[in-house]
Structure 1
Amino acid sequence: MITQIPKGYQEWFRVVMRKMPHLSKSQAVGLAMGRFFGIAITQSCGLSTVAVFLAEIQHRSENNVREQLRQWYKEKSHKYGRKRQEIEVSESFAFLLLWILSWWSSDQKSLVLAADASTLGKRFTVLVISVVYRGCGIPVAWKIVGATEKGSWQPYWHQLLNQVKQGIPDDWFVIVTTDRGLYAKWFYQGIVANGWHPLMRINAQGYYQPSQVLGDQPPSKLPLSGLITEVGQHWSGRVRCFRSNCVDCTLLARWDHGYADPWLMLTDLSPQQAQIYWYSMRSWIECLFKDIKRGGFGWHHTKMTDPKRAERQW
Structure 2
Amino acid sequence: MSNSRRRYRAIVTKLVQLHGYPSGRIMQRVQVLAGFISGIVGSQSTHCRAVAKHAGLGAKVDSREKRLSRWYQNEQVTYELDYLPYLQEVLAGLAGLTLPLAMDGSEIGRGCMVLMISLLYNNRAIPLAWTVFQRPKGHASAEEHIHLLEVVRPLLPAASEIIFLGDGEFDSVALQTYLHALPQWSYVCRTAKNTQIMLDGAWTTLDALAFAPDTCLTLEEVLFTAQAYGPVQVVLHWNAQYAEPLYLVTNFELGEEAGYWYQQRMRIETFFSDQKSRGFQLHKSHISDPMRLARLLIAACLAYVWMIYLGTQAHLHRLVPLLHRADRCDLSLFQLGLDLLHYYLEEDLEILVDFSLPESFFRVQ
Q: TM-score range by the shorter chain?
A: 0.7 to 0.9
Instruction: Give structure 2 stretches of 5+ with no counterpart.
Output: 298-365
Asked whether 1:197 is paired with 2:186, we answer: yes
Deviates further, 45-54 or 238-247: 238-247
Map of 1:299 onto structure 2: 282
5 Å-filtered alignment, 1:222-233, equals: 222-233=204-215
Distance in 2, matches of 1:260 and 1:88, equals: 45
Q: How far is the alpha carbon of 1:193 from its aligned partner? A: 3.4
Partner of 1:47: 48
Q: Which has the higher contact order (CA 8 A, sep 6+)?
A: 2
CA contact (8 A) 1:128 1:139 kept: yes
Q: Aligned to 1:88, which of 78, 93, 101?
A: 78
TM-score normalised by L of structure 2:
0.70
- Structure 1 counterpart SS, 2:36: helix
Q: Which moved more, 1:276-285 or 1:291-300?
A: 276-285
Report the AA paired with residue 124 of structure 2.
C
In the alignment, structure 1 residue 133 sits paired with structure 2 residue 121:
yes
Number of residues paired by the alignment? 289
Structure 2 CA distance for partners of 1:194 and 1:38, relative to 1, 3 Å = farther
CA–CA distance in structure 1, aligned partners of residues 88 and 281 of structure 2 = 27
Q: How does 1:154-165 map to 2 (within 5 A)?
A: 154-165=142-153
Q: 1:14 Cα deviation (Å)?
A: 3.5
Distance between the aligned counterparts of 1:150 and 1:258, measured in 2? 30
Conserved? CA contact 2:110–2:285, under 8 Å: no
Cα distance in structure 2, aligned partners of 1:129 and 1:136: 12
Q: In the alignment, residue 183 of structure 1 is paired with which amino acid? A: D
Q: Taking structure 1 as the reference length, what is the TM-score of the superposition?
A: 0.81
2:89 aligned residue? 99
- Aligned mate of 1:275, from 219, 244, 258: 258
Q: Distance in 2 between matches of 1:42 and 1:204?
A: 44
Q: In 2, are the aligned partners of 1:136 and 1:284 still within 8 Å (CA)?
A: no
Gaps of 5+ in 1: 77-85, 211-217
1:130-175: CA deviations, max 9, x gaps? 1111111122111111225899633322221011012102221111
- For the Cα contact (< 8 Å) 2:19–2:85, is it kept in 1? yes
The one-letter amino acid of 1:243's match is A
Q: 1:163 to 1:194 in 2, by over 3 A?
A: farther
Asked if 1:167 is matched to 2:137, the reply is no
Give CA deviations for 1:73-130 in whole Å, capped at 9, x if unaligned: 1044xxxxxxxxx2122555654543222343x6x51111111111248711111111
Sequence identity (%): 21
Q: Aligned match of 1:264 in 242, 247, 251?
A: 247
CA distance in 2, matches of 1:113, 1:294: 23
Q: Matched residues in 2 for 1:28 and 1:266: separation?
A: 43
